[in-house]
Chains A and B, each alone.
Chain A
Amino acid sequence: MKNGQGTIKITINGALHELMIGRDIEPSETLSYLLREKLGLTGVKIACDQGACGACTVLLDGKAVLSCMILAMAADGREVVTVEGLGDNDPVIQAFAEQSEPGYGTAMQCGFCTPGFVMATKSLLNENPSPDLDEIKLGLSGNLCRCGCYPAVARAVERVVNQGVE
């Protein structure tokens, strides 16, 4: 952390950003503010802005963090991945998008929470590539889906895990 001046370097979705404090970034800014409002990465959603819902989840060095709860300065020298940084054929995105088997419903309705769930899933699978259903539920229990698509979300993650096995 710098003392209010100089630059910080953050790798965001693979690209290195050198941000001058006071010009590009304020020390009081959250990571979510930097990503959304300054870099236009609007896949990062803000729903509660108090660390209670998980909609703003991004990966920081491969682990899920709530980007509304950490300062952008704290990402100095680290690697951030947002949903925009995942590939077009990312298996988690595909699994959420295509979830439609009988008995589960769709994995999203309004879709506001979905990118957060996708990123939380990426983190979960980074730590545990083959979670069982209970581990999936526990791993994603920090994310709120008000439309209540939880069974289909869990099922989509199971499908990603099973694809890995196949």
Chain B
Amino acid sequence: MSRQFEPRKPRQFVGSYRPKIEGYQKASGSSEFLDDIASGLRFPGMLHAKVLRSPFPHAIIKNLDTSAAEKMPGVHVVLRYDDPEIEALKPTTNSWTSFNTAAYDTMYYPNYRDRKVLGAKAHYSGDQVGAVVAAETEEIAYDALKSMKVQWEELAFELDPKEAMKKGAPVIHPEIDPKSNILPCEELCGPDVFRVRGDLDNAFANADEIVEVQSDYHFADQGCLDTRGCLLNWHKDELTCWTNLYQADQTRMYIAQMLDMKLHKVRVICPYIGGSFGRSNTGDQSYYIFTAIAAQRAKRPVKYKHTRQEDFHDTRNAIEWTLKMSATKDGSITGCYFNGIGDAGAYSEHTIAALKFMTGFEMDECLLHHIPNMKMEGYGVYTNKIPSGCKRGIGNNQLNMALFIAVELMAEKLGMDPIDLAIKNFSHEWEPPPNKSVTAVLREGAQRIGWEKRLPTNQGPLIDGRCKKGFGFSLHDGWHTAWQEEPRGMVQLGLRLNPDLSVILDAPMAETGCGSNSCAVWACADHLGFLGITPEDIKWVEKADTETGLKDMVQTDSSVSYLHAELMPEAAAKLKIKILAMAAKKFEQSIENMDIENGRVFVRSDPDKNMSIKELLWNETLVPIPVMVEKLTPLDKTGVPYEATFAEVDVDIELGRIHVKKIVQLNDCGTVMYATGAEAQLIGGQAMALGEALTEEIVYDKTTGIPLNFNWVDYLIPTMLDMPDIEPVAMEVWEGAGEYGACGIGESVTTCTARAIANAVYNATGARVDATPFKPEKVLAALDAVDRAGCAQKEEVGN
């Protein structure tokens, strides 16, 4: 049983255990998601758009006959790749940004404009190419696509990034580089060798111990229940887009820029979203564009929505890391060499950020900064697989897989506890180790998992004749924090106080489940405490709308849980001054001589002269009092918080099955904005991470390049029965900048789980599983390798 979280600074609502604000709405099925709005009942005459998808991993359309589709009853529009309007569209990416708003000329990776909205060349099996149909039903749309006669020229394809790097491999994007599949370098993330300091050769030459490891973190689907889509509707020259990607403002910019429209002619509305987990990131998806063109031609609203199969659309970036680490006898890590190969799949997307940015700018500053000698290099490589987009934790999970097996093995060589090795070496740029937050999450985790029961590697007894018990952990920095969310730009917030003391709170975001809307309401209720109101008096505006609302914040890492809250003190102060001004007029006093407490205004020099605020407002104009504030997030460098995962496993050495018995997930949150919500993230992240670690895998037929399991029958997402005992531990050690000094935890809760489990397997058996998912066949092969090594050692001794 978990212990209750105790806040460092007690507040009435922020940091408390309470139900979500929209809990009843969601449980009763009355929350509106895209599908519930984009329906023929709401939009009579709505058409369904479907796009032709390539059956081949690498192929070009040589000829396309769409005549039968054009004549089919119920088909209203057929768009073709060779329509002049389609051909004139700019080449683009589905990764203009991560969380700020970016325009065509300021997008993150201008060197990688490797997508056409609708082209003739397919780069993976399932790629959208050739034609789009808008028809009265989905079935007619599919029939129309099936009726098309496509003459394909199949091209040689490559699924393996290491092969794709070699000379002579089929070049997948010659428009990006005519000779190579390796992504060219770009400004944001730097050269191939992107981080160098000290003298690594010297560090390796003078080390007491060297460890070399390799890890391979695979593609994994975000698996949002709410598949991605949109509804596009024109009214004369104005376009409205309903969407379930999580940044309305960026979607508006993307559509306006791609269709050469002014921003006020494009309106984007995001209702509740059925999960995001980094999916498709921020709203730069080419399907908006062909759907908008189809809607314009049809003069009807057009919906485009992925099927479950089509929603296997972009994925976690698969990365193979090689790491060489040196240390001296006293437990000082003296050098690290990282070499990564990132499988970009068919389109570059966020490959380079996952590979280089997360390593060089994020982990090196936040975790490895005090290791004196360092070299990092990385190569993103195109293959003919599902594009690597963005998934919860982006590159961190992959890095962590490599780093903490090295820590485990190094500690073993040095005869140290790996927890002590981590505490001795890891901290961020602004604090030398031992770091308070690192120490706190590791010591607390050790105590809760029962670390003292951990035996040396493969020394435990057999349990029930076939299982061996092991314990493992992994550590990572909480992120986004090093920059205090600086790259997001301006945060905006609006309040309207109604004359009956109810509040309309415009804290704009597309709510994906993070609980940030609840956090904004708790912070609002705390700061408007002088009105004597509670969260029930506050209505959060639930749809992000670029026409009627302020700029929405993108839900990365659950950081929005505090971004709006940070503006609340200023908003509350402004509101208070407006009320005091009204009261001063009423009592014929100066503002300075007026004050407010518990919903009453009073004259400071004569407190008997007082009135309830409600009475004051009710006898005025009855016009709601508006307040708007905007602010850059604080930029002070306050260091970084850390998180850790501890795992206890039983390994079935006969069947190769890993039984995860217990997970303790610890996150230093700075300030816990919402205790129940934070625990939901801590627990829920383990469900997703367990899937990636143990069961979820995208499988290809290597002879045809066709994916075999883009469905939820064969792609195995954990169920309630698969969940071990999970202990969520939300902590407050680090203090960030601002009123709360909080951080997002939604992404980092998934980062360490796979490695913690793999290290527990190593501790139990001596078997190394370094490639996710850890399926029984891999575990058995690793156990065999341990046996063989043991035999060889015995023979050597015998000889």
A contact residues vs B (CB 8 Å cutoff): 36-38, 40, 42-53, 55, 82-84, 86, 88, 90, 93-94, 96-115, 118, 136-138, 140-154
Q: In the bound complex, how far is the Cα of B718 from the Cα of A151, in angstroms?
A: 13
In the bound assembly, the distance between CA atoms of A102 and B22 in angstroms comes to 19
Give the 8 A-B residue pairs with the shortest CB-CB distance, closest first: A43-B29, A148-B687, A111-B26, A105-B680, A112-B274, A148-B684, A109-B513, A110-B513
A47-B225, A50-B712 known; A145 vs B687 contact (CB < 8 Å)? yes
From B22, B26, B32, contact of A42 by CB (8 A):
B32
Q: Can you spell out 25 A-B residue pairs with CB atoms less than 8 angstroms apart?
A: A45-B29, A47-B226, A49-B307, A83-B29, A84-B29, A88-B28, A93-B28, A94-B27, A96-B23, A96-B27, A102-B3, A103-B3, A108-B20, A109-B275, A109-B512, A109-B514, A111-B26, A111-B272, A118-B28, A141-B721, A142-B719, A144-B225, A145-B684, A148-B723, A154-B720
- B214-227 vs A, CB cutoff 8 Å, 1 = contact: the mask equals 00000000011111
- B4, A48: Cβ atoms under 8 Å? no
Which has the most chain A C-beta neighbours within 10 Å: B2, B18, B225, B723? B225
Instruction: Give 10 A-B pairs besides A37-B41, A43-B29, A108-B20 with Cβ atoms closer than 8 angstroms.
Output: A48-B308, A48-B711, A93-B27, A97-B26, A103-B2, A103-B4, A106-B515, A110-B276, A111-B27, A137-B721
A residues in contact with B512, CB < 8 Å: 109-110
Pair A150/B723 contact, Cβ less than 8 Å: yes
- Max chain A Cβ within 10 angstroms of own Cβ: one of B25, B30, B31: B31
A106: B residues at CB distance < 8 A: 19-20, 23, 515, 676-677, 680
A103 adjacent to B723 (CB under 8 Å): no
Q: In the assembled complex, which residues on chain B have CB atoms less than 8 Å from the CB atom of A100?
A: 17-20, 676
Contacts A93-B27, A138-B721, A150-B720; A110 near B17 (Cβ below 8 A): no
CA distance A94 to B27 in the complex (A): 8
Q: A45-B225, A108-B23, A145-B687 are in contact. Are A50 and B514 (CB under 8 A)?
A: no
The distance in angstroms between the C-alpha atoms of A136 and B514, with both chains bound, is 26
Given contacts A40-B39, A96-B27, contact A105 B679 (CB under 8 A): yes
Say whether B681 faces chain A, with CB atoms less than 8 Å apart. yes
- B274 engages A82 (CB within 8 Å): no
Docked Cα-Cα span, A75 to B41, in Å, equals 22
0/1 interface trace, chain B 277-295, chain A, CB 8 Å (1 if under):
1000000000000000000
Give the residue name and chain of the A residue nearest to B725 (CB).
A151
Tell me the complex Cα distance, A142–B276, Å.
Answer: 22
- Contact present for A110 and B29 (CB under 8 Å): no
* Bound form: Cα–Cα A33–B766 in Å: 53
For residue B201, CB closer than 8 A to chain A, the reply is no
Chain B contact residue count (CB 8 A cutoff): 68
Known: A109-B680, A148-B685, A151-B723. A50 touches B711 (CB 8 A): yes
The one of B2, B29, B32, B276 that contacts A82, using a Cβ cutoff of 8 Å = B29
A110 B226 Cβ-Cβ under 8 A: yes
Q: Known contacts being A50-B712, A103-B4, A110-B225, is A97 close to B680, with CB within 8 Å?
A: no
- B26 near A108: Cβ-Cβ < 8 Å: yes
Encode B683-716 as 1/0 by CB contact (under 8 A) with A: 1111110000000000000000000000111000
Distance in angstroms between the alpha carbons of A159 and B292 in the assembled complex: 48
Check A111 against B308 for contact (C-beta < 8 Å). no
* B686 cross-chain contacts in A, Cβ below 8 A: 148
B542 CB, min distance to chain A CBs, angstroms: 12
CB-CB nearest in chain A for B222? A146
Rounded to whole Å, the gap between the CB of B345 and the closest CB of chain A is 22
CA distance in complex: A44, B688 (Å): 24
Interface residues of B in 24-75 (CB under 8 A from A): 24-33, 35-36, 39-41
B19 touches A112 (CB 8 A): no
- Compute the total of residue contacts between A and B using a CB distance below 8 Å: 214
Give the contacting residue for B274; candidates A47, A84, A86; CB below 8 A: A47
CA distance A137 to B277 in the complex (A): 25
Chain B 333-365 interface residues, beta-carbon cutoff 8 Å to A: none
- A-facing residues in B702-745 (Cβ within 8 Å): 711-713, 717-721, 723, 726-728
Q: How far is the CB of A43 from chain B (nearest CB, A)?
A: 2
Query: B273 on the interface (CB 8 Å rule)?
Result: yes
Given A96-B27, A147-B684, residue A153 in contact with residue B32 (CB < 8 A): no
Assess whether B687 is in contact with A97, with CB atoms less than 8 Å apart: no
State how many angstroms separate the Cβ of B519 from the closest Cβ of chain A. Answer: 12
Taking the closest CB of chain A, its distance from the CB of B728, in whole angstroms, is 7
A114 touches which of B19, B27, B39, B41 (Cβ 8 Å): B27
A97 to B723, CA, bound (A): 22
CA–CA, A136 to B719, complex, Å?
Answer: 12
Compute how far the CA of A36 lies from the CA of B276 in the bound complex, rounded to whole angstroms.
23
Tell me the nearest residue of chain A to B277, going by C-beta: A146
B675 at the interface (CB under 8 A from A): yes
- Indicate with 1 or 0, residue by residue over B437-448, a CB within 8 angstroms of chain A CB atoms: 000000000000
Please state if B225 and A42 are interface contacts (CB–CB under 8 Å): no
Which residues from chain B contact A43 at a C-beta distance below 8 Å? 28-30
Q: Which residues of chain A come closer than 8 Å to B40, judged between CB atoms?
A: 37
Q: Which of A47, A84, A88, A147 contacts B680 (CB 8 A)?
A: A147
Bound form: Cα–Cα A103–B679 in Å:
7
- Name the CB-closest residue of A to B680: A105
Among A37, A83, A105, which residue has its beta carbon within 8 angstroms of that of B676? A105
Q: B728: which A residues are within 8 A, CB to CB?
A: 103, 105
Known: A99-B19, A146-B224, A152-B680. A107 touches B27 (CB 8 A): yes
Flag B259-276 by CB within 8 Å of A: 1 or 0 each. Answer: 000000000000011111
B1 part of interface (Cβ distance < 8 Å): yes
A104 pairs with B720, CB closer than 8 A: no
Measured in the bound complex, the distance between the Cα atoms of B719 and A149 in whole Å is 10
B285 → chain A closest CB, angstroms: 19
Does residue B142 face the partner (Cβ distance < 8 Å to A)? no
When the two chains form the complex, which single residue of A45, A46, A98, A101 contacts B23, counting CB atoms closer than 8 Å? A98
Q: Does B682 contact A (CB under 8 A)?
A: yes
Chain A nearest CB, measured from B714 CB (Å): 9
- Which of A37, A107, A111, A140 makes the CB contact (< 8 A) with B31? A111
Which of chain A's residues have a CB closer than 8 A to the CB of B712? 48, 50, 52-53, 144
Inter-chain contact B225/A55, CB cutoff 8 Å: yes
Decide yes or no whether B451 CB sits under 8 A from chain A. Answer: no
Q: Judge whether A47 and B27 touch: CB under 8 Å.
A: no
The answer to the question of B530 belonging to the interface, with a C-beta cut-off of 8 Å to chain A, is: no
A119 and chain B: residue at smallest CB distance:
B29
> Which residues of chain B are within 8 angstroms of A147 by Cβ–Cβ distance?
275, 513, 680, 684, 687
Contact A112 B226 (CB under 8 A): yes
- Chain A residue, CB-CB nearest to B275: A110
**Which B residues, 634 to 683, have Cβ-Cβ distances below 8 Å to chain A?**
675-677, 679-683
The answer to whether A42 and B308 have CB atoms under 8 Å apart is no
Cβ contacts under 8 Å, B720 to chain A: 136-137, 140-141, 143, 145, 150, 153-154
**Complex Cα distance A102/B675, Å?**
8
Q: How far is the CB of A136 from chain B (nearest CB, A)?
A: 8
Q: Which residue of B lies closest to A140 (CB)?
A: B720
Q: Which residue of B lies closest to A103 (CB)?
A: B2
Closest to A98 in B: B19
Q: Give bound CA distance, A45 to B274, whole Å.
A: 10
With beta carbons under 8 angstroms apart, the residue of A40, A55, A83, A103 that contacts B41 is A40
